Chains A and B, each alone.
Chain A
Amino acid sequence: MLGKPWSNIRPWSCCKRFAHQLRPQIPDARWPGYAVVIGIEVHAQIKSREKLFSNTWTSDLDEAPNTHVSPYDAAFPGTLPRLNPKCVELGVRTAIALNAQVNHRSAFDRKHYFYHDLPSGYQITQHYAPFASDGFLQLEKNATAVRIKQIQLEQDTGKSMSDVRRRVSHVDLNRAGTGLMEIVSEPDLRSPEEAGNYVRTLQSLLRSVGSSDGNMEQGSLRCDVNVSVNKYNEPFGTRCEIKNLNSVKFMMVAITSEAFRQIELLESGRPVLQETRGFDEDKAETYALRSKEDAPDYRYMPDPNLPPLFLEKRYVSSIRAEMPELPDATRSRLQALGLSHRDADVLMTIDSGREVGHDGQLGHGAIAYFDTVAQGRDPKVVVNWITHELLGQLSHRHETFMENPLSATQMGDLIDLVQDKKITGTAGKTILRHVLEHKSTAMPSVLAKELSLLSNDDGDASLQKWCEEAIDTLTEEAQAVRDGNVNVINKLVGFVMKRSRGTANAKAARAILQSKLSSRS
């Protein structure tokens, strides 16, 4: 149904001319006379079923520790790596989406360091020859293209949790050996806000191609940020790297605070030292982790087990031909259907990342749901039902869109009932609540009958009867209307609606009541 989505983003090739240009510095009122330069290394977990070099299944956060560990993942003697082609495929999808060059030959290297969540004592990465390079990412709501230096495949580590009281560390190897994409930007970002925009744009791109769920809070996307400051229009200053940032918000706070720290140093005539820094979320400031002199020597070495990775042009074009729709194309398509920018945004950010399936299987997220329901229906009506009624009810019930029991077919049926005036909008909402409450799989047209919510097709008989009941019961109000106090009629209409359990047409009721009350006077 989406046709060839790749053709939709072809116009981006106009941005290629930016690809080798350094962005100019940008003045900023927060630090007059200075410019801030930012580059970001993103580690995005590849959403593959199996790990990068073993056929152990990847794990979710809620699984018991050390239940997804093969002898290879625990670096048992005699085990050897075997490259998972699905990880390569998802990497190539990402590279294409980032307009990067997929290199014909790439290779794997070992990066050595001793740490207890790294069982082999080295991480396999692509230090010398990454599989993709020279791309760019067009930021959302911004004309800026951020150059991507390279993308490499590498292994994730295990996790360690310190038990401070017993002074021991617990090691969980579930994550050990999961595939990562390291996406390295050039120093093209000029403000904390741009950095935030870059990460958010990248997140939605990764999700749209199904290569990562890109969730910073859950650690499936992690950022290391390089920040430097310099006097406006002078050469770049010395950079510091801030590690372990686990939300876009904190990343932006960390950059701001780091920029002020470096400017303060320069203002007082002291140099900025190249170092790696951490971020204290409570104090909202960065702190020194290690200096350049203490930087570990990773003793990089070509991995002697894994042969070089050759990616033929034909393979890359076959993936390019099957590319899922990218966020920019989705947004334009939705807006072309008449949706507002805001509605498109809401649809695109519902359950961010949770809908991403394994091995590039595109999940059935809100966009797919919308597309199915909107087939042959008014897109604007459909988006209202999804964003206002459905999402509203779900959030009221503290449920996510993933947990939504109302199928697209049910939703379609429900909208048709309301549009065809077989039920009222109020009755429609009642049915929606009923389905969510009872996880009912029945079609709304059946439920409308069962719950006696169908608008009456006995002509006006019932409506006439309810109106008379209203006038007989609410005698004082009826008299007030007769006396010319027309607004009081709303009370009588309310009575009719309540009496009909929402099935009555309020407009029709008002008309009948008006005629009854004026004829008697």
Chain B
Amino acid sequence: MLLNTASRCTRISKTSSLRLLSLNACKGAIESKNHDVNALVFTANVPEGAASVSGPLQDVSVAVKDNICTADMPTTCSSRMLKDFKSPFHATVVQLLREAGATLVGKANCDEFGMGSLNLYSVHGSVVNPYQPGSSTIPWSDRQRRSAGGSSGGSAAAVASGMCHVALGTDTGGSIRLPASYCGIPGFKPSYGIISRWGVVSYADSLDCVGVLGQKVEDIVQVFEILAKYDEKDPSAAKLETREKASAICQPFIQSLSLSDSLDGLRIGIPQRLYNSEVRPSVPVSLPSTPYALSAYYVIATAEASSNLARYDGIEYGLRVDPPPGADKTKTAHVYAHSRSAGFGPEVQRRILLGTYALTAE
């Protein structure tokens, strides 16, 4: 019953008074739904009389992963370190969504700083996979609690349980693709540099990507087109000429596909090294460095994580734990250690240590 209410709420009425009414009703429905799934860690309040922005996304409700900055909602990264943190600015992706008229329903649970594959490492608790066979009649409380995948588990579960049409996630090493797959919804991780990372809390900058999870592929496409814009605030954003070149190359293929619903004649290349029992060869593609990919990923991602997370020291923002009386305060690092030990969870600490080790000279 709750699932149904929330589902109906996702298409929001177009007239603004009805929209507000339905938003308030939806907030309740989303919150009771969320009680079982734990997909959202903050539910947006819609202020009375808020003017709706008209735009291409005015009928679309969106959940935003909690490692993406919002100036009107907390941004905790599911970490105790940032439990009370509110960013002074919107991420570029959030700004673009608002300008396009999208309704932000709240912030989505995730693994701490995006580090994890099962959404178990969160200060807000783990996310429960909402996916159930359509035939299931067992009440929610009695169902098996299964992982929604991670690290964008909250984003996937919020979409899969009908709390929103689409959700923003981030993907450094599978963090959109895994939970989308676990929850049975489409998830899209675009190429690096296509969507702005300004306002996305860094885990491993050279790999971090923002992407979209949605109930329908069409919804994802619509949101992606709003977000795939060059942003001068992101130094790693793909340049305009690169985008135009790529688009020109893809255009003929896209056109040939959209002409019919049939995929007849479509050839899909699959890297040879990734063949396994689930993937049947169609056109083999050779990517000889694939065997090194996983090791390289772990070195690069943890090295960058150890660097990016050095800023959480309890001085300018975030959790601060003062050293106990008599503690060694002779070095700055000794003072920071108390905040960092208390603020970071086990997986984040593990990756910081691995990354520090990888960067250490001898």
Q: Residues of B within 8 Å of A, CB-based: how many?
A: 43
Q: Which residues of A (56-89) have their CB < 8 Å from a CB of B?
A: 71, 74-83
Q: Does A297 contact B (CB under 8 A)?
A: yes
A299-B357 Cα distance, complex, nearest whole Å = 9
Chain A residues whose C-beta falls within 8 Å of the C-beta of B310 in the assembled complex: 112, 114, 120-122
Going nearest first, the 9 A-B pairs with the smallest beta carbon separation are: A121-B310, A304-B206, A299-B359, A304-B205, A114-B333, A75-B311, A77-B201, A78-B199, A78-B69
A selection of 12 A-B contacts at a CB cut-off of 8 Å is A74-B317, A75-B316, A77-B201, A80-B197, A116-B315, A119-B313, A119-B316, A297-B362, A299-B306, A299-B356, A301-B359, A305-B236
Indicate which residue in A78, A116, A171, A304 contacts B198 across the interface (CB closer than 8 Å): A78
B88 touches A71 (CB 8 A): yes
Inter-chain pairs besides A71-B89, A77-B85, A114-B331, 16 sampled, C-beta below 8 Å: A77-B69, A77-B311, A78-B69, A78-B89, A80-B236, A112-B310, A114-B310, A114-B313, A114-B332, A116-B313, A116-B315, A121-B307, A121-B313, A122-B307, A122-B310, A299-B359
Q: Does A287 contact B (CB under 8 A)?
A: no
Nearest to A81 among chain B residues (CB) is B235
Chain B residues whose C-beta falls within 8 Å of the C-beta of A77 in the assembled complex: 69, 75, 77, 82, 85, 87, 201-202, 311
Indicate which residue in A71, A78, A301 contacts B307 across the interface (CB closer than 8 Å): A301
Q: Does B336 contact A (CB under 8 A)?
A: yes
**Binary CB contact string for chain B from 350 to 361 against chain A (1 if under 8 A, 0 otherwise):** 000000100111
Q: Does B100 contact A (CB under 8 A)?
A: no
B238 vs chain A, min Cβ distance (A): 11
B70 vs chain A, min Cβ distance (A): 10
**Binary CB contact string for chain A from 97 to 129 against chain B (1 if under 8 A, 0 otherwise):** 000000000000010101110011110000000
Main secondary structure of the interface of B (DSSP, over half): loop
Q: Does A346 contact B (CB under 8 A)?
A: no
Nearest to B85 among chain A residues (CB) is A77
A80 touches B361 (CB 8 A): no
A-B contact count (CB 8 A): 95
A119 touches B233 (CB 8 A): no
Q: Which residues of A (134-149) have their CB < 8 Å from a CB of B?
A: none
Chain A residues whose C-beta falls within 8 Å of the C-beta of B36 in the assembled complex: none
Given A110-B307, A301-B304, decide whether A78 and B87 contact each other with a Cβ distance below 8 A. yes
A498-B316 Cα distance, complex, nearest whole Å = 69
A120-B309 Cα distance, complex, nearest whole Å = 8
Q: Which residues of B (295-322) have their CB < 8 Å from a CB of A?
A: 303-304, 306-307, 310-311, 313, 315-317
Chain A residues whose C-beta falls within 8 Å of the C-beta of B75 in the assembled complex: 77-78
Chain B residues whose C-beta falls within 8 Å of the C-beta of A119 in the assembled complex: 311, 313, 315-316
A77-B91 Cα distance, complex, nearest whole Å = 10
A297 touches B360 (CB 8 A): yes
A80 touches B235 (CB 8 A): yes
B88 vs chain A, min Cβ distance (A): 6
Indicate which residue in B202, B232, B307 contacts A82 across the interface (CB closer than 8 Å): B232
**Binary CB contact string for chain A from 240 to 279 against chain B (1 if under 8 A, 0 otherwise):** 0000000000000000000000000000000000000000
Q: Does A307 contact B (CB under 8 A)?
A: yes
Q: Does A408 contact B (CB under 8 A)?
A: no
A120 touches B311 (CB 8 A): yes
A347 vs chain B, min Cβ distance (A): 43
Q: Which residues of A (299-319) have their CB < 8 Å from a CB of B?
A: 299-301, 304-307
A75-B304 Cα distance, complex, nearest whole Å = 15
A83-B233 Cα distance, complex, nearest whole Å = 10
Nearest to A83 among chain B residues (CB) is B235
Chain A residues whose C-beta falls within 8 Å of the C-beta of B85 in the assembled complex: 77
Nearest to B334 among chain A residues (CB) is A114
Chain A residues whose C-beta falls within 8 Å of the C-beta of B236 in the assembled complex: 80, 304-305, 307
Given A78-B69, A78-B198, decide whether A297 and B361 contact each other with a Cβ distance below 8 A. yes
A110 vs chain B, min Cβ distance (A): 6
Chain A residues whose C-beta falls within 8 Å of the C-beta of B23 in the assembled complex: none
A267 vs chain B, min Cβ distance (A): 35
B331 vs chain A, min Cβ distance (A): 8
A108 vs chain B, min Cβ distance (A): 10
A78-B77 Cα distance, complex, nearest whole Å = 11
Chain A residues whose C-beta falls within 8 Å of the C-beta of B232 in the assembled complex: 82
A71-B317 Cα distance, complex, nearest whole Å = 11
B304 touches A80 (CB 8 A): no
Nearest to B361 among chain A residues (CB) is A297
Chain A residues whose C-beta falls within 8 Å of the C-beta of B311 in the assembled complex: 75, 77, 119-121
Chain B residues whose C-beta falls within 8 Å of the C-beta of A304 in the assembled complex: 204-206, 236, 304
Among B198, B204, B362, chain A packs the most CB atoms within 10 A around the CB of B198
Q: Does B234 contact A (CB under 8 A)?
A: yes
**Binary CB contact string for chain B from 57 to 84 against chain A (1 if under 8 A, 0 otherwise):** 0000000000011000001010000100
A498 vs chain B, min Cβ distance (A): 69
Indicate which residue in B82, B332, B360 contacts A299 across the interface (CB closer than 8 Å): B360
A120-B317 Cα distance, complex, nearest whole Å = 12
Among B198, B304, B311, chain A packs the most CB atoms within 10 A around the CB of B311
Nearest to A115 among chain B residues (CB) is B332
Indicate which residue in A112, A116, A306 contacts B359 across the interface (CB closer than 8 Å): A112
A120-B306 Cα distance, complex, nearest whole Å = 11
A307 touches B235 (CB 8 A): yes
Nearest to A71 among chain B residues (CB) is B88
Q: Does B209 contact A (CB under 8 A)?
A: no
Q: Does B200 contact A (CB under 8 A)?
A: yes
Among B75, B206, B316, chain A packs the most CB atoms within 10 A around the CB of B316
Chain B residues whose C-beta falls within 8 Å of the C-beta of A307 in the assembled complex: 235-236
B112 vs chain A, min Cβ distance (A): 13
A115-B200 Cα distance, complex, nearest whole Å = 25
A129 vs chain B, min Cβ distance (A): 17
Q: Which residues of B (148-186) have their CB < 8 Å from a CB of A?
A: none
Chain B residues whose C-beta falls within 8 Å of the C-beta of A81 in the assembled complex: 235
Indicate which residue in B233, B313, B332 contacts A80 across the interface (CB closer than 8 Å): B233
A163-B172 Cα distance, complex, nearest whole Å = 43
Q: Which residues of A (327-349) have their CB < 8 Å from a CB of B?
A: none
A332-B333 Cα distance, complex, nearest whole Å = 54
Nearest to B197 among chain A residues (CB) is A80
A122-B202 Cα distance, complex, nearest whole Å = 14
B262 vs chain A, min Cβ distance (A): 42
**Binary CB contact string for chain B from 315 to 355 against chain A (1 if under 8 A, 0 otherwise):** 11100000000000001110010000000000000000000
A78-B336 Cα distance, complex, nearest whole Å = 21
Nearest to B239 among chain A residues (CB) is A307
Q: Which residues of B (268-310) have their CB < 8 Å from a CB of A?
A: 303-304, 306-307, 310
A301-B358 Cα distance, complex, nearest whole Å = 10
Nearest to A303 among chain B residues (CB) is B205
Chain A residues whose C-beta falls within 8 Å of the C-beta of B198 in the assembled complex: 78-80
Chain B residues whose C-beta falls within 8 Å of the C-beta of A80 in the assembled complex: 197-198, 233-236
Nearest to B237 among chain A residues (CB) is A80
B347 vs chain A, min Cβ distance (A): 18
Given A119-B315, A121-B313, A307-B235, decide whether A78 and B361 contact each other with a Cβ distance below 8 A. no
B88 touches A76 (CB 8 A): yes
Nearest to B234 among chain A residues (CB) is A80
A116 touches B307 (CB 8 A): no
B144 vs chain A, min Cβ distance (A): 35
A74-B315 Cα distance, complex, nearest whole Å = 10
